[in-house]
Amino acid sequence: RQKFTEGAIYKGTFVAVKRIARRNFDLTRGMLIELKLMRDIRHDCINSFIGACVEHNNILIITQYGARGSLQDVLENEVIKLDTLFCLSLLNDIAKGMTYLHSTDIKSHGNLKSSNCIIDSRWVLKISDFGLHEFKSKQETVDRSVDRWSHQYFRNLLYKAPEIIRSDTW
């Protein structure tokens, strides 16, 4: 069985674990409200938020695991052949998930890209890695291992909103 992301076992189920790169962390009332909002969101095309683990120098976000990986993994896999109807189904799942997400108190995704679209074992696409804006703020986002002129650097910029790219210092 292939493993697409860091994971753990929670209540007998394999879950995805995402580390937040932050040294100092004070849990504020606003963050607790964000966590409650995330816990309340339930939809077929939204990846379920399970919880967070907040310890000194070890901050984790725990979500439902996508057994088929991300949309990016599926698109880059040459073994998987996608027909037009299947692609349309995946696009429909994205539209349903984003429509629902925009109707909630979270309002927007903020970081939508193919690596944040998770595909579960039933081939249903689920929007992931949304919300928790205050919780994720002040994250150390500089990845020193990525060369500024590499393919990976520019691939990461592909899904970034133009206004955010313009505000970055070149």
The distance of Cα 80 from the centroid of its chain, to the nearest Å, equals 22
- Report how far residue 163's alpha carbon sits from residue 165's, in angstroms, rounded to the nearest whole number: 5
pLDDT given at position 157: 74
Locate 106 and state its tokens.
Answer: 């979270």
96: CB partners within 8 A, 6+ apart: 43, 44, 45
* Segment 97-102 mean pLDDT: 93
3-state secondary structure of 29: helix
Tell whether the model's pLDDT for residue 53 goes beyond 90. Answer: no
- Report how far residue 135's alpha carbon sits from residue 54's, in angstroms, rounded to the nearest whole number: 11
> 77-86 burial, b if ≥16 CB within 10 A, otherwise e?
eeeeeeeeee
Task: Report the predicted TM-score, pTM, of the whole model to 2 decimal places.
Answer: 0.78
Tell whether the model's pLDDT for residue 2 goes beyond 60. Answer: no
**β partners of residue 162:** none
Give the tens place of pLDDT for each residue, 127-161.
Answer: 998 888 777 776 655 455 566 777 777 777 776 76
